[in-house]
Amino acid sequence: MSEQNKFQILRFNSEDLLRYTVTQCNNFFPDRIDLNSYISRNLPLALNRLQECINSVSVWEKNTFNPFQSSQYFTYIYFLANTIWQETGDTEVPTRLFLLNKALNNIDCFYEILLPPHFYFGHTSGIVLSKADYGDYLVIYQNVTIGKNNGLSPTIADGVIIYPNATVLGASLIGDNSIISQGTSIIDRSIPVNKIAFRANGRNITLKENLSNNVEKFFWNIQ
């Protein structure tokens, strides 16, 4: 049995999930555009991407998608919107899916943003993501903002953890296996690899060595 055949959607099959997603969009946005054809054609590829992501996250059960787990459902809607946009160039359906994610999960993650294949959002509430360069094995928590400053966007390398209420703006470079601590603002600054950035005395940013492996904390070894 292939990996895809083993992938189960709790309480639904793929046709149920299609109807559920279309119904949600139509209830929020009752202009009745042709959602069904776009979503049905691109759903298998989106579910493939979702399965790979879910199977990488160590706190999630492999090969199982729970539509009533909000972080997983955000991930599904994001992959669906991004897949439709990449595969067809359509913007009408991805826009509604983007807005659906904002309404349901309180996250601002536009469908054109390219998130990595493997990521984990601990809580989606209050997250705002710009079109930055996102490395693989990314971990983000609630109320994180990643955005532009003076027209420039950050670069976030592999295996980065960004804890709640942190901000990464502008021409910032966050190195591999680094941690941005809770409430820390990084603006137009580089954080070297294997560092923990935090606020000392509420003002200056202090760096210390990160002696742990961020990827191993949150992800299975899927290599």
* Model confidence pLDDT, tens digit, residues 52-62: 999 999 999 99
CA distance 51 to 61: 11
List pLDDT tens digits, range 210-220: 999 999 999 99
**Domains of the chain, earliest start first:** 3-107 (no CATH), 119-215 (2.160.10.10)
CA distance 199 to 179: 12
Q: Which of 2-6, 25-29, 61-65, 104-108 has the lowest mean pLDDT?
A: 2-6
User: Tokens at residue 173, please?
Assistant: 């470079």
| Residue where the block lists tokens 């009533």 | 68
User: Tokens at residue 61, please?
Assistant: 């059960």
Strands 179-180, 161-162: pairing kind: parallel
Give me the chain's average pLDDT, please: 95
Asked if 84 and 12 count as a contact pair (C-beta separation under 8 A), the reply is no
CA distance 198 to 77: 32
List pLDDT tens digits, range 169-186: 999 999 999 999 999 999
User: Tokens at residue 5, please?
Assistant: 């055949």
Interval 199-214 mean pLDDT: 89
Q: In the Cβ-directed half-sphere of 149, how many Cα atoms lie within 13 Å?
A: 15
Which pTM does this prediction carry?
Answer: 0.94
H/E stretch holding 96: helix 92-105
CA nearest neighbour of 77 among 55, 104, 56, 59: 104
